[in-house]
Amino acid sequence: MAYVAPLRDIRFVLNELAGLDKVHQLPGGEEAGQEVVDAILDENARLLQDAIAPLNRDGDLQPPTWRDGAVTASPGFAQAFRSFVEGGWQGLQHPVDFGGQGLPKVVATPCMENLNAACLSFALCPLLTDGAIEVLLTAGTEEQKRRFIPSMIDGSWTGTMNLTEPQAGSDLSLVRTRAVAQPDGSYRLHGQKIFITYGEHDMARNIVHMVLARLEDAPEGVKGLSLFIVPKFLVNDDGSLGKRNDVWCASIEHKLGIKASPTAVLLYGEDKGEVGPGAIGYLVGEPNRGLETMFIMMNAARFAVGLQGIAVAERASQHAVAYAKDRVQSRAVEGSAGPVAIVHHPDVRRMLLTMRTLTEAARAVAYVAAGAHDFAHRHPDAQVRARNQAFYEYMVPIVKGFSTEMAVEVASLGIQVHGGMGFIEETGAAQYYRDARILSIYEGTTAIQANDLVGRKTARDGGAVAAAIIGHMRETLAELDGDQELSALRGQLADAIQAYEEVVRFVVERYRDDVREVYAGSVPYLMLAGLTHGGWQMARAALACRRRIGKGDVDSFYPAKLAGARFYCAHLLPRVEALRREILQGGASTLAMPVDAF
């Protein structure tokens, strides 16, 4: 079925929850007025619906091909990529000085979501390019910025992130790729990288690889990693392309999902280019601090992967709703003259509402985080910037981990709504599940996100940021006081907030005494936080709808949104209590079984 960008909900979240009007008032946010943002969203939806969404199914059936080190993209991808970059979409949130549009992250975020919903495999290329641009903007020299960023923004070149090696999956301390210093200040790299998204393709003239490697005198572990720019083709002083670098695509992976995204095995230093043995690279940032620099790219990618989860969930939900309205089967449980569309059956409605409200809650959580990112980078007051930066950093593992786990659940429910037809590839429902399944794995598994949330984001500051967030949640509870229509919702949210607070206190208090017990509950903690943040935003949405309806607005969107908020709090927030018990009481049982017994 055709994809339709959910612009009505997107505009509601931007205006009512994410603070677009306040971002518009920040320095550098002047261009993000309502009329401009509406025009951007409309044009973005038109391009994606017409030119990119049709590639989703075709790319799944006709993945890229590899031959003699070269990769040919799925049919139609190169043409669609030209349309995408010629429209300026790659540079939406990047600085005007380098050819971008300099718009706030909260404006770019829905465009990113819609791109991923249109075709996840296609969207991965711009996603990694965005990350490479962010790294150079933050840590690159002025010459590196001038040489590489403009061509990535205009789409002539794309970017990648090269971390993983066969022996070093998530444990980057085991990275062995080595970099040898050269007399001219460059380096020669030797090693192998795997799982490199868009590591080789024919959609752009050059590919800028951001590669983690070790200098010859580097210490062991992650503190000995440095970051290098390694272009597929060397770049001359005048910006033209020079010799083919010694980077070779040995193969591309055959995957469960995202089949149209070429995932490459790259060999560095096999003397397969035009520069002799050793890929020529250039140090980014300081020696032996490459992982710190790469975290800039990783954090950008993690937030973007969270958006991918929301996007796939939206696409799967639209697909399931269309099928449920069209599929006629069985009489209504209360009796009917004949079979009815399955959307009338109570359990199908439960599944559809679960899909819809999980997606909408996760969208609101991500957009609110994006708004905080803009305040962290644009507000003139240093204290306001610091508070918002702390909030955004706390939210990144939640956006990534919760949204991607949510996507797997939603896509699975989509298959269930289709029944046996969902298990058949021809209906398309299975693709969303296959595509979604990677999201909770790459750019850091859910456990890695959860460990980050526990260690760096909660225990390290004694739970201060989490406590401040919970304080804001209680302010929303106060707004709900006295509203009889929302009294049940208020009680459900209050219980979830109380559980959240207890878990944060448990993490902080037990972290030093029994760290393994705390980490045994890290993923449940992340999921509890995600569900509670979703409930908070749905409650804020309910309040906004009540205000609109109270002013006489008859738009049917508001009662529907209000009903969705009630469903979320009644059906999904109760999961929080079970997670609370698992975290507080389940650690010992997780660790009790001896390793030899597995």
Catalytic residues: 443
Distances (CA, A) of 156 to 72, 86, 322: 17, 10, 38
Listing DSSP states for 144-199 in one string gives: HHHHHHHHHHTTSEEEEEE--BTTBSS-GGG---EEEE-TTS-EEEEEEEEEEETS
CA distance 150 to 91: 9
Q: Of 369, 125, 117, 148, nearest to 241 (Cα)? A: 148
Tokens 């996507």, residue? 407
Tokens matching residue 39? 């025009």
Backbone angles phi, psi at 402, to 5 degrees: -70, -45
Q: 130-140 burial, b for 16+ CB within 10 Å, e for fewer?
A: bbbbbbbbebb
**In the Cβ-directed half-sphere of 45, how many Cα atoms lie within 13 Å?**
16
Tokens matching residue 230? 């390694």
Q: 160-170 burial, b for 16+ CB within 10 Å, e for fewer?
A: bbbbbbeebee
Tokens matching residue 433? 């599940």
Bridge partners of residue 159, in order along the sequence: 208
Tokens matching residue 102? 């300099």
CA distance 101 to 97: 9
CA 591 to chain centre: 31
Bridge partners of residue 53, in order along the sequence: none
Q: Is 428 left (phi over 0), alpha (psi -120 to 50) or beta?
A: left
Q: Of 575, 394, 569, nearest to 494 (Cα)? A: 569
3-state SS class at 230: strand
3-state helix, strand, coil in the chain (%, to 5): 60, 10, 25
